[in-house]
Amino acid sequence: MVGSTLREKSMKGLSIVLAWGLMCAWAPVGSLPSTLAQSRQKAARKDLRYSCPMHPDVISSKRGKCPRCGMTLRTVSRAPISGPTPIPAIRDTEDSLSFSSSQIPDSKVLDQNGKSLNFYSDLIKGKTVAINFIFTTCTTICPPLTATFRRVQQELGRTGQNVQLISVSVDSSVDTPERLRDFAAKFNAGPGWTFVTGEKAEIDRLLRALGVAVANKNDHTPMILIGNDVSGFWTRSYGLSSPATLIKTMTDVASHK
């Protein structure tokens, strides 16, 4: 299937996972998908939280009723969903294996200084990265997204974690490198944080590959893609979560073997 396009290292990662699945279940190859799903569920169970469908801020580690309205709490994933509309992409944090570095195209992009870069080989290869999606004329969610990223960057810098931050513009026809530079300056973005724009067709292809393409830029999701290219582990997180939550996810991903 995708085997021929996979990079060597991801190939290795995949084969380890396959071997592991086989060993655990003593199962024939035919039943592999369900075995994988089971083990994934198992892994996810310890991260389960319970939340009220009406009061997303009510979060409990045990089953029970909502203290506000009495509704039965439902299971949610590790990342608390605090947006009014649940975003499917964020909910399936345990579905990390569905995304791999091999899906990231080596698009020709420009950074905030107008420097030409190859998205995969210059920004992702061999690194742990957190990617969010913004546009400079976005006023509702991008300022909090970016401010949160800034705090994350400061904290990571303090603890010596090396996670590269990337903000990809979803409005490349308007967001020139100059606009990105002003935007970065406004939020005091430090080194190690790249803002990315480029030719519209190229950026659109990149966004599609990263699973965040939308028809209307105002619908862009506050999702953060966090990945460790060395281990090939990728996950998604809700960008408006608290910096502490994001830092924890990033640290986990960075130390993922």
Partner 1 sequence: MNKKNPVAKWPLLFTGFGLVMVCFSLSRFGSMVVTAQNSLTTSESRGKQIYTQGTSPSGKDVFAYLGDPSLELPGSAMPCANCHGLDGHGKPEGGVSPTNLAWEVLTKPYGVTHPNGRSHPPYTERALELAITCGTDPGGNKLLNVMPRYALSVQDLADLVAYLKVVGKDLDPGISERNIVLGTAGPTKGRLADISQASRAVTAAFFDELNSQGGIYDRRFEVKFLETAETPAATRAAMDRWLKDGEIFALSGVVMAGFEKDLLPLIANREVPLIGPLTLYPETGTPLNRQVFYLLSGVEGQARAFVEFAASKAELKNQSIAVVFTQGESSSKLLQAISEENKRAGFGKPRAFDYLAGQFDAASTARQLKTANSNLVFFLSGGKDVLSFLAEAVKIDWYPSIFIVGASSEIFGAPLAFSEKIFLSFPTSPADQSPEGVREFSALAEKYKLPKEHLAAQLSAFSSAKILTEAIRRVGKDLSREKLIQALEGLYEYQTGLTPAITYGPNRHIGAMGAYIIKVDLKEKQFVPAAGWISVN
Under the criterion CB under 8 A, does residue 182 sit at the interface with partner 1? Answer: yes
Subset of residues 142 to 171 that bind partner 1, contact rule: CB under 8 A = 143-144, 147-148, 150-151
Subset of residues 99 to 138 that bind partner 1, contact rule: CB under 8 A = 137-138
We find the least distance from the C-beta atom of residue 72 to partner 1, in angstroms, to be 10
Axis crossing angle, helix 142-159 with helix 243-254, rounded to the nearest 10: 50
We find the least distance from the C-beta atom of residue 150 to partner 1, in angstroms, to be 8
Q: Map tokens 């396959």 to a residue.
A: 18
Nearest to 64 by CA among 77, 79, 49, 78: 49
We find the least distance from the C-beta atom of residue 230 to partner 1, in angstroms, to be 30
φ/ψ of 24, rounded to 5, equals -60, -45
Give the one residue of 222, 225, 233, 235 binding partner 1; rule: CB under 8 A: 222
- Do 79 and 223 meet the contact criterion of CB atoms below 8 Å apart? no
Under the criterion CB under 8 A, does residue 84 sit at the interface with partner 1? Answer: yes
Under the criterion CB under 8 A, does residue 192 sit at the interface with partner 1? Answer: no
Number of Cβ within a 10 Å radius of residue 151: 15
We find the least distance from the C-beta atom of residue 119 to partner 1, in angstroms, to be 22
Total residues contacting partner 1 by CB under 8 A comes to 41
Nearest to 135 by CA among 84, 169, 88, 86: 169
Q: Which is nearer to partner 1, 2 or 71 (CB)?
A: 71
Distance CA 190, CA 168 (A): 16
CA 179, 135, 133, 204 dihedral sign is negative
Distance CA 32, CA 46 (A): 23
We find the least distance from the C-beta atom of residue 244 to partner 1, in angstroms, to be 7
Binding site for partner 1 (CB under 8 A): 53-57, 68-71, 82-85, 87, 137-141, 143-144, 147-148, 150-151, 174, 176, 178-179, 182, 186-187, 218-222, 240, 242-244
